[in-house]
Amino acid sequence: MLRQFRQVDVFTTGPGLGNPLAVVLDASGLTPAEMQRFARWTNLSETTFVVPTEDAAADYAVRIFTPDSELPFAGHPTLGTCHAWLEAGGRPRDPQRIVQLCAAGLIQIRRVGDALAFGAPPLRRSGPVDESDLLAIAASLGIDRSDIVDAAWADNGPGWVALLLRDAEAVLAVRPGAVPLDVGLVGFYPSGAPEAIEVRALYPQNGLTVEDPVTGSLNASVAGWLLETGRIQAPYVASQGGAIGRAGRVEVSQAQDGHVFVGGRTLTLVSGTVEL
């Protein structure tokens, strides 16, 4: 069966500079095993499938797969799927916002100029990281334990451990080995720079370390952590991907009620149909 397909560049500053996402529209009738097989074939960090929903509060539902497993939530798949759904003619019930249903629940998405932004979901795990884990992570990154200024669990679906390093330069200088956990690195740029922080996302896969080009879920949880600890004020811009030849930009804002929104620009690079 032919189904509509998009490949979208998310958090991008130009074609091929963000994080790619494969989107299968109208994935009704596909089994989880069939979705997983196709996600393994695309070999992207995530592939999403728009599926029917009976939830009256949702405009559409999505399932999110890595090449190996299904995720309850992920940031760049949320924005990329919304972009593809709107481009394919999707009409939200409320013109001011789009509501996506995923395994993590209802996610609010809003238009911000020429970008889309999602409301950060609540953390599944927060708080301090065990010293044994920090020692193992530091060794895998090739840095000293003393190079970690602060650390916290920042798990909002993907199980991120966030590490604050000395500055953005220190983040970009890391040459990771085999990381034991999903690790997010954060460092500040000097005051007055166009971007406030540099972010890197590293995770283990098949015995290797993979670096994600630009990561919405990590930026969402890091934003909550940095805002809560008083280290940063919103709105701000984070850069990510420079260590692997990308130029992603993540725009973080905060609503009056304190809810964090994570946004960026999305661009369709491939449009057509796929046999599934």
Query: At residue 212, does pLDDT exceed 90?
Result: yes
Q: What is the mean pLDDT of residues 117-126?
A: 90
- The pLDDT assigned to 206 comes to 83
Q: What is the mean pLDDT of residues 181-206?
A: 96
How far is residue 78's CA from residue 224's CA, in Å, rounded to a whole number? 18
Phi, psi of 196 (to 5 degrees): -80, -40
How far is residue 156's CA from residue 220's CA, in Å, rounded to a whole number? 8
- The pLDDT assigned to 159 comes to 82
How far is residue 33's CA from residue 40's CA, in Å, rounded to a whole number? 10
* Confidence at 274, pLDDT banded by 50, 70, 90: very high
- The pLDDT assigned to 156 comes to 80
Buried b (16+ CB within 10 A) or exposed e, 86-115: bbeebebeeeeebbbbbebeebbbbbeeeb
Torsion of Cα atoms, 163 then 214 then 78 then 161, to 10°:
-10
* Confidence at 124, pLDDT banded by 50, 70, 90: confident
* Confidence at 153, pLDDT banded by 50, 70, 90: very high
Q: Kindly report the average pLDDT of the chain as a whole number.
A: 96
Q: Which has more confidence, 39 or 96?
A: 39
- The pLDDT assigned to 224 comes to 95
* Confidence at 135, pLDDT banded by 50, 70, 90: very high
H or E segment and range at residue 41: helix 32-42
* Confidence at 205, pLDDT banded by 50, 70, 90: confident
pLDDT in tens, 46-60: 999 999 998 999 999
Percent of the chain whose predicted confidence (pLDDT) is above 70 = 100
- The pLDDT assigned to 169 comes to 98
Amino acid identity, position 221: S
- The pLDDT assigned to 258 comes to 92
Query: At residue 157, does pLDDT exceed 80?
Result: no
- The pLDDT assigned to 119 comes to 95
Judge whether 65 and 22 are in contact, CB under 8 Å.
Answer: no
Q: Considering the domain 125-258 in this protein, what is its CATH number? A: 3.10.310.10
Tokens coding 188: 């500040």
The CATH architecture of the domain made up of 2-116+264-275 is Roll (3.10)
- The pLDDT assigned to 67 comes to 93
Question: What are the residue ranges of CATH 3.10.310.10 in the chain?
Answer: 2-116+264-275, 125-258
Strands 266-275 and 115-119 turn out to be: unpaired
How far is residue 249's CA from residue 265's CA, in Å, rounded to a whole number? 8
Confidence (pTM): 0.94
